[in-house]
């Protein structure tokens, strides 16, 4: 029992330290947008070029840093758009036994051990969230952040879904199977935007308020 308690205390200390270091890293980039999307999307996929172009515009026109998980697919496309435009291209990486596949368009990075801390950091300070089509991981991140917006744990941060032919099918399911059954409220469908026009996305991003990130003291000192 005593050994288990010591192990638990050690784990809590490690988690606290990683949160503190992650928040301190993000505090250096007070204006950012996080991109999510499938890591299987290749360079010849239209979504890849679309994400690269959008990220470039967010950098050059609005001065945002672009944050991703640092991997391939949409993450690479967004980082590449920022990198090739001379902007700040951030990768929040994950430490894996065989190493994470990372893209080469990252200017600043921070590697985390715990997946759940990485997810918190990806959503902690962004001024907006951009979602492109993806797999289970993308939808996991979409619904987790949507739940935080729904419950007002995240306030005033737009969620923008790009690729209407993909997201409208999901929205139809939500309306037909969730809203009609009363498991979500009608107003919940207004918590996210589905947009293909980069001009419209830029206008939404312009109205996003800057979230002030203050480094946390007292953790794992």
Q: How far apart are CA 122 and CA 76, in angstroms?
A: 15
CATH of domain 2-206: 3.40.50.450
- State both tokens at 70: 């640092």
pLDDT tens-digit readout, 40-70: 999 999 999 999 999 999 999 999 999 999 9
Q: What is the pLDDT of residue 221?
A: 42
Q: What is the pLDDT of residue 215?
A: 53
Q: What is the largest CA-CA distance in the chain?
A: 59
- Report the predicted TM-score, pTM, of the whole model to 2 decimal places: 0.91
Q: What residues have CB less than 8 Å from 91, skipping those under 6 apart? A: 67, 68, 69, 70, 75, 79, 102, 103, 106, 108, 109, 110
Q: What is the pLDDT of residue 47?
A: 98
Q: What are the angstrom distances between the C-alpha of 128 and each of 102, 135, 194?
A: 23, 21, 13
Give pLDDT tens digits along the chain (221 positions): 777 888 889 999 999 999 999 999 999 998 999 999 999 999 999 999 999 999 999 999 999 999 999 999 999 999 999 999 999 999 999 988 877 789 999 999 999 999 999 999 999 889 999 999 999 999 999 999 999 999 999 999 999 999 999 999 999 999 999 999 999 998 999 999 999 999 999 999 998 887 765 555 544 44
Q: What is the pLDDT of residue 210?
A: 78
- Mind giving me the DSSP string for 105-172? --SEEEEES-HHHHHHHHHHS-SEEEE-S--HHHHHHHHHHHHHHHTTSS-S--EEE--HHHHHHHHH
For β-strands 65-68 and 89-94, DSSP reports them as parallel
Q: Where are the domains of the chain?
A: 2-206
For β-strands 65-68 and 193-194, DSSP reports them as unpaired
Q: What is the pLDDT of residue 101?
A: 87
Q: How far apart are CA 174 and CA 183, in angstroms?
A: 9
Q: List, in sequence order, every residue forming a beta bridge with 115; answer none if it has no partner.
A: none
Q: How far apart are CA 198 and CA 179, in angstroms?
A: 29
Q: What is the pLDDT of residue 102?
A: 92
65-70-72-73 Cα dihedral, nearest 10 degrees: -40
> Do residues 188 and 171 make contact, with C-beta atoms less than 8 angstroms apart?
no
């Amino acid at each position: 029992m005593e050994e288990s308690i010591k192990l638990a205390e050690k784990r809590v200390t490690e988690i606290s330290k990683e949160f503190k270091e992650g928040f301190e890293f993000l505090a250096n980039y007070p204006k950012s947008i996080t991109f999510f999307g499938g890591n299987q999307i290749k360079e010849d996929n239209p979504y890849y070029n679309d994400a690269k172009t959008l990220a470039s515009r967010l950098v050059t026109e609005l001065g945002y840093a672009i944050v991703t998980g640092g991997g391939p697919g949409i993450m690479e496309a967004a980082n590449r758009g920022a990198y090739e435009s001379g902007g700040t291209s951030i990768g929040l990486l994950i430490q894996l036994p065989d190493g994470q596949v990372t893209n080469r368009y990252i200017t600043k990075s921070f590697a985390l051990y715990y997946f759940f801390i990485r997810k918190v950091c990806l959503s902690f300070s962004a001024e907006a969230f951009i979602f492109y089509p993806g797999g289970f991981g993308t939808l996991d991140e979409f619904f987790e952040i949507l739940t935080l917006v729904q419950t007002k744990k995240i306030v005033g941060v737009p969620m923008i879904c790009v690729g209407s032919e993909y997201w409208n099918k999901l929205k139809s399911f939500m309306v037909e199977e969730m809203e009609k059954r009363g498991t979500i409220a009608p107003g919940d469908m207004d918590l996210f935007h589905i947009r293909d026009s980069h001009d419209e996305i830029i206008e939404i991003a312009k109205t996003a308020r800057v979230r002030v990130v203050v480094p946390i003291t007292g953790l794992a000192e």
